[in-house]
Structure 1
Amino acid sequence: MLVADAVSQRPCRFRAAANDRSGPNLPGLFSQQPLETFGRGETVYRDGDPATHVFKIVAGIVRIARILSDGSRVITGFLYPGEIFGLSPDEHCLGDAEAVGSVKLRRLNRKRFQQAVDSSELLRPQFVDWLCREMAGAQARMVLLARRNAEERVCDLLLTLTRRAGDESGPATMIEIPMSRVDMADYLGLTIETVSRTMTSLINRGVIRSIARYRFDICKPALLRRLADRGDEDDDLNGIAHGRPAMRPH
């Protein structure tokens, strides 16, 4: 089947685009499913669990993590509202899916999802399009971890959050960072100390300002973009994709 053949060796996730508001779309397959709520740190599924369902996030952020043989943790991705995740190339889940904060989601039986995509001439190209975006995002993430320094990595994550919180008028100037410094470090391939020093430096330089426990003002968005050193070719990659972390700079 199309879905089974196309899924890569990472859990796939999809996000609705503005031009997919009319006609069938992948996120729309979940509209009639019951809403489920998960508290901070609760598990949606564990690595190796039977991959019987596909999930759509309605609110909150989900992290996908892998535990390595030495006991260390790597966060391979953060998933955001509107995204679909949980597909795998075999019958088992890849990684632990956990709620970063309070999360609301809907789940759909994996076979029903596959049958819907395989039987629809409108959904099949959407699936391929999202898969291509996933691959492009993974390549951008590999470049980020292999070639960017600590400050550029942190700023890149902050920029992604501004776009996620923004609208058609542009990125948001106020964001929430619900993930802990440990989560940020395990995702960016850094140490906790490096993430904390970098955030403190950005605050001291007036780039960002803490206004609540998880909430920050982006005081100098243009400077934040320059510090992230993002090229034009990365500007249309709207998601934080899964990938493998590089060596941890200190």
Structure 2
Amino acid sequence: MNEELIETPRYRPSIYAAPFRKDGDGAEVELLSKSEQDSLLEVSQLVSVRRHTVLYPEGGEARFVYNVVSGVAETYQLLANGEKRITAFLFPRDIMGLSENGTYVATAQSLTAVTAFRIPFDALEAILERDPSLDIGLLCKLCHELRRSQHHAITVSKNEAPARLASFLLWIDHAYAPPGRIAGELNLPMARHDIADYVGLSVESVSRALQVLETQGMIRRKGPRFITVLDAAKLRKLAGQA
């Protein structure tokens, strides 16, 4: 992996998720206090990679956790027949580096240029031992990701193709908002075949589903990856989120 180290960080570690508190309104909030961010800054390196760069391989020794600052990455596993199965898309303020018995459970690869804090597992473990509140914050994030994975699994298993695409586009609209983006204007960072793999459809089915959404006035396609959401309420109803 070709990483460029950034000497003077312009960013701070950031983790967003819905907290456990009962008095919350369900909205995602910053889970790290300033002191927790400072602790992570002390042990982190801010790195930058080009698009389509592998950050770590499935089965590789798990040495680092990555906190995404900018850009989009994906994690995937290779099946026995050689097929690629995307397990997640990662956006700014997400964490990647899931491991089991000291090895990564999936390959992580950048889809766009990515900047991330690279945090050594050993240093993170030491911080968690002396700062239980950070431990709770990471647990909130992991539970948030688990809920997202469960929702995705239900969406893929029960819904028809247009509903799956409606749910996917609503999620991207919420999760990926690069600087300067106009609300409702989506510049998809992933290719059509990546979307198809993630939502459990063929590329042709994704294309047909997008056409259905456009014909019904929910979206307008402005290019292979550029989509305008015209009627979010209709999308939510189709996706079962109304």
Query: In structure 1, what residue type is equivalent to 2:16?
Result: R
* Structure-2 separation of matches of 1:49 and 1:34: 20
Give the aligned residue type for 2:64: H
What pairs with 1:69-80 in structure 2 (closer than 5 Å)?
A: 69-80=80-91
Q: Partner letter of residue 133 of structure 1? A: H
**In the alignment, what sits opposite 2:53?**
42
What are the ranges of 5 or more consecutive residues in structure 1 without an aligned counterpart? 1-13, 232-250
Residue deviations 1:59-92 (CA, integer Å, cap 9, x gap): 1111111110011111011011011110313211
Task: Provide the residue aligned with 1:149 in structure 2.
Answer: 160
AA aligned opposite 2:213 = L
After superposition, the Cα gap between the structure-2 partners of 1:55 and 1:19, relative to the gap in structure 1 and judged at 3 Å, is closer
Q: Summarize the Cα distance change of 1:163–1:203 in structure 2 as closer, same or farther, 3 Å threshold.
A: same
SS at match of 2:217: coil
Which residue among 74, 92, 95 is the counterpart of 1:84?
95
Deviation at 1:28, TM superposition (A): 7.0
Q: Is the 8 A contact 1:39 1:101 kept in 2?
A: yes
Counterpart-to-counterpart distance in 2, 1:42 and 1:212:
25
**TM-score, normalisation: structure 1:** 0.77
Where does residue 33 of structure 1 map in the other structure? Answer: 44
Residues 56 and 106, structure 1, Cα contact 8 Å, conserved in 2: yes
Report sequence identity in percent: 27
Mapped pair 1:159 → 2:170:
yes
Q: Contact between 1:25 and 1:126, CA under 8 Å: does it hold in 2?
A: no
How many residue pairs get aligned? The number is: 215
CA distance in 1, matches of 2:78, 2:134: 34
Larger RCO (CA within 8 A; separation ≥ 6): 1
The farther-off stretch of 155-164 and 126-135 is: 126-135
Q: Which residue does the alignment assign to 2:16?
A: 15
Contact 1:27 1:82 in 2 (8 A): no
Task: Determine whether 1:118 maps to 2:119.
Answer: no
Offset, 1:42: 1.4
Cα distance, 1:115–1:100 mapped onto 2, change above 3 Å: same
Please give the TM-score of this superposition, normalised by the length of structure 2: 0.80
> 2:234 is matched with which residue: 223, 226, 233?
223
Does residue 186 (structure 1) correspond to residue 212 (structure 2)? The answer is no
Of residues 52-61 and 214-223 in structure 1, the stretch that sits farther from structure 2 once superposed is: 214-223
CA deviation vs aligned residue, 1:214-245 (integer Å, no higher than 9, x gap): 332111111111111126xxxxxxxxxxxxxx
Tell me the alpha carbon deviations over residues 21-70 of structure 1, each in whole angstroms, 9 at most, x when there is no partner: 64444797247734322222111111111100110111111111111001
Gaps of 5+ in 2: 1-14, 18-27
The one-letter code of the counterpart of 2:153 is M
